[in-house]
Chains A and B, each alone.
Chain A
Amino acid sequence: MEISMTVNGMHKTVSIADENTPLLWVVRDTLGLKGTKFGCGKAACGACTLHVDGEAVRSCSYPVKFAEGKDVTTIEGLGDRENPHPVQQAWIDEVVPQCGYCQPGFMMATAALLNKVSKPTDEDIDNNIINVCRCGTYYRMRKAIHKAAELHSKKEIYESKEL
């Protein structure tokens, strides 16, 4: 069957034998976007977190059929070197990653959080950022999340002035 969705701003139609195939594998193997990671396959670690219509979703357990007609954003679409997302800029400023494997999932979860809670408290962070990092980068991540919130609000002010 065919599934149509918007991925990182581009219209994509994929043909897939099993409509229950997790969105993760369609993104990684059919569309070749490897930034979204496989960690556990049971929505337990969050390495596969991406956005569907702006909401953080653990894509290893999200059948691709549910993405029909929706707007999917992966780490590749969050920002790039020329125009980093505030979360990515904060991650760079705080030198967060170690092995780096879980980091796209954390950055996507954080970006989704900032869309809802522009100035998250430590408690907000504890309750919403529940992915697993084995290297133990949580300490720097927390600093980066607060910094991202600052950059995010500055960016919003800047962008609203532009308009």
Chain B
Amino acid sequence: MADKGNDSKKTSRRKFLIKGGLGTVGVVAIGAYIFRNPIRRELLGFANSLEAPYTDNTDKPMMWFEVTKINEILLHSPKMEMGQGTFTGIAQMAADELSVSMDQIKVVHAASSTGNVDSFATGGSTSISGLWEPLRELAAMLRVMLIKEAARKMNVGIDELSVENGIISAKGKSLTYALAAEGVENWEIPDVPALKDIKDYKFIGKPVPRVDLDAKVYGNPIFGMDAEMPGMLYGAVVRPSKIGSTFVSADISAAEHMPGVVKIIVEDDFVGVVANSMMEAEHAKNAINVTWGNYGDLDTAAIKNMMTVGNGNSTTIQKNGNAFGEDDDFEILEFRSPIGAHAQIEPNGVVASVDGDSATIKISTQVVSITRKEVAKRLGLDTEKVNIVPTYLGGGFGRRLHTPHAVQAAVMSKAVGKPVKYFFSRKEEFQHDMFRPPTHHIIKGKLNSEGFLDTLEHEFVSGDVATDSALIPNFLTNFLGADVGAIRGGFIQYTAIPNFRAVYWHVVLPFATSWWRSLGLLANTFAMESFIDEMAIKAKKNAVEFRIGQIGESPIDVRLKNVIKAAAKKANYHEEVINGRAMGFAASIDANTPCAQVAEVSIVDNEIVVHKVTVAMDPGLAVNPDQIRAQCEGCVIMGISAVLYEEMFVENGELTPTIYGPYQMALMKNAPKEIDVVLLQGKDTPGAVGEPPLGPIGAAIANAVRRLTGERLTELPLKLSKTV
């Protein structure tokens, strides 16, 4: 059960605020959950076992729940729904503590005007784990408040009342939550009640269907791209195609007088056009002649040169025992991963309306608070007067942690005095993505006489992930000494090895790189788990036994060993090639969630084909086992896409390709026909789910190819060098 030891974890009574009159019978606005500083921990070790708590805005009261006239509960979610299933999980948590049915909970995105906005972000696989305790406590408090009012209205003792499906009953009489809340002005604020026993939950722990299924199956207009405002115009922003371009000047004479053009906006940092229709805005944009400066003619080879261990600044993030001496013999392998694009299908888009001293922004964003602050700052508005109305996200994957387009749309709206909608073209999405940085890894290892590792060193270099982003300002990175995103997965998990070291090198690239689902985990785990497999082969040991033999005995170590054993058992892991197929094994820990995978692979027409992937993961308590499985399946397939096909290039100073197809991604035909997921529960609270399964997939496939062909593939995307 939840840890109740720390006072700061309890819901603050003082922060409760009750108000009414927003068109519903009983509007209950429930107060803030005390900020728990996620940074005040062991700094770098923490970064790799990140279980960031939910962080809210402590200044303002926050509306979590509304009780509606038809006896439904509206839950205003501070976390965005981007496919990860958070809305379903939090609906289960709220329904159980409120004693209502799933049908009675309606989850909506909290708009920033209601105050219930996460001051950090939706990301890092933290939504369910972070809300686990506060949301259930708040729901339980609301239940107690409603029961107290019902007792008063029904003139019966509280102890005589029971609740089911939002109906409070005693002695043959009953009252709905809606009627209990009706007319109440002075709510009695209770202490945080005891939460229900987990075994008594009806929904938590069950494979409840997604609450957004109907909206998504019947094509409801729920996404940012679907948002509109009355009288809105269409905007477009001119973007350079060359890396590093800075704005020099713009010739707008041709575009100015084109049909439908309302205004051309030339700012210091962008040139925008507003027109009556989207097509007119696009045509005018293409007629604006911008002079760009400072760009160069970089190519992929130049980027690879920059991205080489030894360049930039280094930080030792982990150290045990002794490093290799100059005269030591060791095995050494180098690995590389390419620039990766988010390629989320919904382009970045926004509708902004600036009216006098206030603004309304409808947008798919993972960072409501940051979007809000950036718009307020640029327009000189009071932050309180900027209302961010978040929509469902047509994919997040970290791409929507950056929303400068909200600022641009707001500037354009202010300039024309009308709402403006604008979104990226696919070419702009590909050229102006905040890419997954390329990486380079050098791993050295030496076996002892028993055939286990005596010394292991991982040196790796990455572009920015967290460094200098709006979420983690540069000063904090300097303070931490390493990019907390790039080092995800870079730690050595085989801590029983006597001597090991992990060193991170930081190189700043000439184009923006940033958060891409699972951050450094994908590349770091590919490199390390490939190397470990090679050492197991050298030691003539079974890959599973080789791993188990070098993992420590701490709680997370034990959980890691358990998922490794579970995956091997479920997949019936072996190291033979049978009927042209081989298995590959890999495991990782991310955000305190261990995950092991077995990939079953063959070569067909000289292409790597993944037939089956077995996943064993221990995310702690599973709030919704079906959606955890869905995240595992999705990570396996997105991972296959990233490690077998995806790669951005730089040619003549431009990022390319700029369209799906040439930017090759996994399609239906590339997805495994079988994905077998085993869930373990090694701790009694929910943990990270949405990213950890991306760790092992690259090495699991590469290790299967090694067993199948003898070839050790060391570069992503994995390509066979010889005809098999």
Contact = CB atoms under 8 A, between A and B. Distances in A.
Interface string B79-90: 000111100000
Interface string A23-40: 001000100011111111
B469 interface: no
Nearest to A125: B668
A140 B222 CA distance: 22
Given A37-B346, A139-B675, A88 B225 contact: no
Q: B interface, how many residues as a size bin?
A: 35 or more
B220 A35 contact: yes
A161 interface: no
A80 B665 CA distance: 32
Categorize the interface residue count of chain A: 35 or more
Contact of A99 (B213, B342, B393): B393
B85 A98 contact: yes
A117 interface: no
Given A18-B279, A47-B345, A136 B634 contact: yes
B437 interface: no
Tell me whether chain A's interface is mostly helix, strand or loop, or mixed.
loop
B634 A98 contact: yes
B223 interface: yes
Contacts of B479: none
Given A100-B394, A101-B394, A134-B345, A35 B634 contact: no
Contacts, number: 169
A134 B397 contact: yes
Interface string A115-135: 000000010011101111111
Nearest to B641: A136
B22 interface: no
B626 interface: yes
Contacts of A99: 82-83, 344-346, 392-396
Contacts of A34: 219-221, 225-226
B635 interface: yes
Contacts of B344: 99, 101, 134
Given A74-B219, A100-B216, A138 B210 contact: no
A91 B217 contact: yes
Nearest to A133: B345
A33 B219 CA distance: 9
B672 interface: yes
A36 B345 CA distance: 13
B677 to A, nearest CB: 10
Contacts of B637: 136-139
Contacts of A67: none
Contacts of A33: 219
B125 to A, nearest CB: 14
A137 B634 contact: yes
A142 interface: yes
Contacts of B394: 37, 99-102
B549 interface: no
B158 interface: no
B475 interface: no
Contact of A129 (B345, B634, B668): B668
B660 A40 contact: yes
A100 B215 CA distance: 9
A97 B217 contact: yes
Given A81-B214, A92-B217, A107-B217, A100 B672 contact: no
B633 A139 contact: yes
A95 B209 contact: yes
B194 interface: no
A126 B633 CA distance: 18
A112 interface: no
A75 B218 contact: yes
B263 interface: no
A151 interface: no
A47 B627 CA distance: 23
Interface in B631-661: 633-638, 641, 659-661
Interface string B668-690: 11111101000000000000000
A154 interface: no
A125 B668 CA distance: 8
Nearest to A105: B345
Given A92-B214, A135-B83, 5 more contacts: A98-B84, A130-B667, A132-B345, A136-B633, A136-B634
25 contacts: A21-B279, A29-B278, A33-B219, A34-B226, A37-B346, A37-B394, A39-B660, A40-B660, A41-B425, A44-B660, A44-B661, A75-B219, A95-B210, A97-B83, A97-B217, A99-B393, A100-B223, A101-B394, A126-B669, A132-B665, A135-B395, A136-B635, A136-B636, A137-B633, A140-B633
